Structure 1
Amino acid sequence: MARGRDKGLIRLRDEALCRRYYYWTERQRLRFDDALRILSEREFFISEERIMAIVRRMVREGRDNSLKPVPKVKMPRLTNDQLSLFPEL
C-alpha cells in the first residue's frame, strides 16, 4: 500500500483549483491577486504561492489551454547611472 497523499485526489484538486481560478479571473473579472486570496482563504486553504505553482504547472503541461498564469514579477535592477537621471529632492 502506497503511503502519502493520493495522487488521484491531488490531480482532481488541481483541476478544480484551475477551474475556480479561471472562474474568478475570467468570468468574475477579478484581479489575479484578489482571486488568489479568495482561493487561498475561502476555498482551498493552501498558500497563494502554492496555488500559482499549481496553475503554472497545469498550463505548462497543457491540460487547460484557457488558463494563462500571471508571469513572475522581477524587480528591475537600477544602476548608478540610471539613478543619476533623477534629481535629488
Structure 2
Amino acid sequence: MSKENLYLCMGSACHQLGVYEVLPKLQSLIKEHDLEDKIELKGSFCLETCSVGIVMKFQDNVFTKISADNIEEKFTDEILPNIQEVVK
C-alpha cells in the first residue's frame, strides 16, 4: 500500500515563523497515532499562503496558522480527521 503525502511548508516565511519547531512535534504526532506506515511527511517549497502562518497540505486540504504552540491541537482537530478519512 502506498503512503499518502502530508506536506509541511519549508519556505522562508514558514522558516522564520518556526517551522523547525513544528517539525519534531509533527513527527511525534504521526508516530503517536500509528500513521508511520500510512503517511509520508514531506517538506514542501512555498505553498503560497505566506500571510497565514505555517502551512500544511494533505491532498486538496490546506491547513494554515500552524505554530509550535498549536500543532497538537491543529493536528488532532483538523489534519487527523482528513487523514483518517483517506487511510481507513
Same fold (TM over 0.5): no
TM-score by length of 1: 0.27
| Higher percent of residues as strand | 2
Task: Give the TM-score of the pair, scaled to structure 2.
Answer: 0.27
Highest relative contact order (Cα 8 Å, sep 6+), 1 or 2? 2
